Structure 1
Amino acid sequence: MRQFEKPATSLTARRPAAAVTLAAVAAALLTGCGSHPTGAGAPTASGSAGPCGATQPSPTGGAPVPSGLARDGVRITAVGPACAQYEVTNPGTEPYDVTVVFSRSPGTGGGAPENVTRTVTALAPGATTTGRLDLTGPTPARPGTTPRVEIVKVRSVPSAEAPQPGGPCPPSGLRLYADEGDAAMGLRAVGLHLRNCGTATVDLDGYPTLQLLDPQHRPVDGVRLLSGGAGIATGTGADDPPQKIALRPGEGARTTLVWRNTTGDGAPVNAPYVRVRATPDAAPVMVTPELDLGTTGRLGVGAWAREDPGAQPPATRPPTQAG
């Protein structure tokens, strides 16, 4: 946990970081559609190719599987002209929400690759779930060719700390989430949005408490958290002075994270996850702003400010519910 430079107010998060690394799972030819949770000792399918075509290479004899086919607990198990099948596992000790970004291209002579995102929610410890990607549109493969499908990125957050921009109000009565952000000429800015969906007024005073985490959910050290964004760039919306806000039910607030990904001497710092507490006693929420801090070692954090009541959370893709 990093402390803000004066005069910001920062408190230490009370929940330890989840140290979960999703490992690659054993091969299994999947023959159905949709999502199918399994667990330890559950039967797996085998035999000839299923409706999605040829089985992909499996980790046998210690040989590694290419990262495009297996990464962080996700594995593409079969690819055919019309669909691809994959599986996701959670070897951790608590439920996780797992988001996977796939790249699919139509194959030889086809169009440019396009990304497809899938999310599995509340994947139980030790469980594996399977899914299927439709490869028939909008640019289907040419006849006689098989599309190319790869895993681009995998992100996972504890289900108890997952952002909830929509749906029922969380038990905390506070809805906190990150927006898509903005990037230009190496400058990055991501907004954190807070909505009081409960029944009691919440007092905000100053800055949220942040804990930066690496891809394995380990705390990131050596990053200076600056009060406001002026130390990074002006005009980002993170420069207002801290103020006390009585956030009544139905009202919202926002803050902004600002950084540059300039790279010089030293090792670049990447912190895809940030655990956020809106107030000292608020439940933690883990957002994924993908902080690519380069070698700058600095992150500007704006103070909470009131947000337009008409602000709406971003549209989200329907998740795949596991379990």
Structure 2
Amino acid sequence: MSRRLAVALLAAAGLVTAGCGSEIADAPSSSTPATTPAPAAPRRPVPVPTWIPTDASSPVPNGPCQPSQLRLVSGGSDAAMGYREMVITATNVGPVRCTLTGHATLALADENGGAIKGQQLPRVPMMDDKLVAAERHRLAPGKSAQVYLAWRGESAIAGLPQVKSLRMIATKGSALAPVTLTAHSLPIDIVQGSTFAISGWRAVPERH
């Protein structure tokens, strides 16, 4: 092989090698697919604390009726000439006799739980005077007594929150307990600043 032919062959081999290297260099590089982040877990709603009534003291025979001993339920309401009246019945659901005396105290709230601060008076206009005086009632298990919530509707103003829930301290020496409102109890158009009265405890009228 002549020297000139050998040089030509070497040159050709170099061009082929360079071309292959160029193709490799120019080839698109494989890229790793982008990883899609996992969707965030939905936030669980924060549980709303459930209010649980607490006795002021341990129930004792003939002692003040405690929340754990009472079921408080409202009855229907009556209205006439701006006067409103609603019955709240307390039933002893405990195992021992308990006592209701004096006048109950109410805590009023709107549909969102906001306090409605009214003024509790001994009586309101058109309230029966016979309901005002306090009485003592000892409730055997399963027995009931009742009070009357009385108020005037003139102070209710459109747009102001009205009472949607009630809690009651039934007697001195007791603590707040929930009052179950029925569909017949509403509306209770007591608003901020309204006056209302609670009668003394009375025996439940006998049904004939």
TM-score normalised per structure 1: 0.39
Q: Pick from 109, 133, 139: which aligns with 1:241?
A: 133
Larger relative contact order (Cα-Cα within 8 Å, sequence gap ≥ 6): 2
2:108 pairs with 1:212: yes
Aligned partners of 2:91 and 2:143 also within 8 Å: yes
Cα deviation code 1:9-47 (max 9, x no counterpart): xxxxxxxxxxxxxxxxxxxxxxxxxxxxxxx959xxxxx
Shift of 1:304: 0.9
Flag the 1:195–1:265 CA change in 2: closer, same or farther, 3 A: closer
Flag the 1:262–1:294 CA change in 2: closer, same or farther, 3 A: farther
Structure-1 separation of matches of 2:206 and 2:144: 6
Where structure 2 has 5 or more consecutive residues not aligned to the other structure, the ranges are: 1-40, 54-66
Match of 2:96, as an amino acid?
Answer: A
Identical amino acids, percent of aligned pairs:
23
CA RMSD of aligned residues (A): 3.5
- Judging by fraction of residues, say which structure has more helix: 2
Counterpart for residue 57 of structure 1: none
TM-score normalised per structure 2: 0.58
Q: Which one has the largest radius of gyration?
A: 2
Counterpart for residue 72 of structure 2: 176
- Judging by fraction of residues, say which structure has more strand: 1
Structure-1 separation of matches of 2:147 and 2:97: 19
Flag the 1:266–1:224 CA change in 2: closer, same or farther, 3 A: farther
Cα deviation code 1:217-242 (max 9, x no counterpart): 12222x21012x4x22133x872410
Q: How many pairs are equivalent? A: 150
Where structure 1 has 5 or more consecutive residues not aligned to the other structure, the ranges are: 1-39, 43-89, 96-157, 162-170, 312-323
Matches within 5 A, 1:71-110: 92-95=47-50
2:90 pairs with 1:194: yes
Structure-2 separation of matches of 1:296 and 1:172: 31
Counterpart for residue 224 of structure 1: 119
Q: Pick from 174, 188, 196: which aligns with 1:291?
A: 188
Match of 2:177, as an amino acid?
Answer: P
Shift of 1:185: 3.1
Cα deviation code 1:62-86 (max 9, x no counterpart): xxxxxxxxxxxxxxxxxxxxxxxxx
SS at match of 1:172: helix
